[in-house]
Amino acid sequence: LDDVRDDLTDVLISKEQIAGKIGELARRIERDYDDQRPLLVGVLKGAVMVMADLARELRIHIDMDWMAVSSYGAGTKSSGVVRILKDLDTDLTGRHVLIVEDIIDSGLTLSWLLQNLERRGAASVRICALLRKPDAAKVDVHVEYLGFDIPNEFVVGYGLDYAERYRNLKGVAVLAPHVYE
């Protein structure tokens, strides 16, 4: 059996820490949106775990929809050019939209997405992200609901991948250099 744990160094954020934080964020979101029935927009694929856990923590009515965007083609993450691979099924006119993301790295994906969704006539568009790497920021994005600021290291798990692997880890861990060197 190929043990995934050999590919990891530190567990940066445990599944218990994630669950606690998502509970806190859910309480704030419930209070802020109350009976507004927000539309949660998950960004595939990284956001699936956050969306699944956050949605189940919320004790208010919500809708869920999904977008898939390709950031910067196959190359390195730098250009900021984003393409929509799968668009929303939902009309945003007058809706209160909450974008759900796993991580803000350079910020380019979310700053583009925020503008894109705002132009569709939403009543409000806010961001919920579990992780943010302040030292990797290329653009500033306002995050209303943030889980953790983390160091600029290669992290995987809880939705985050390296070459599509490790998304299924329960916590967030630092990838061992031997995996990508």
Active site residues: 105
Question: Helical H runs in 70-167?
Answer: 108-118
Of these, 26, 50, 58, 108, which contacts ligand PRP (CB under 6 A)?
A: 108
- Taking CB under 5 A as the binding criterion, the range among 46-54, 76-84, 87-95, 135-143 that sits at the site for Mn ion is 46-54
In sequence order, what are the residues at sequence separation of 6 or more whose Cβ sits closer than 8 angstroms to the Cβ of residue 181? none
Closest-by-Cβ residue to ligand PRP is: 46
Of these, 32, 144, 153, 161, which contacts Mg ion (CB under 5 A)?
A: 161
The side-by-side arrangement of strands in the sheet containing 8-13 is: 8-13, 172-175, 155-156
Of these, 38, 42, 46, 157, which contacts ligand PRP (CB under 6 A)?
A: 46
The answer to whether residue 144 forms part of the interface with Mg ion (CB under 5 A) is no
Exposed / middle / buried, residue 167 (Cβ in 10 Å: 0-12, 13-18, 19+)? middle
**Residues at the contact surface with Mn ion, assessed by CB under 5 A:** 46
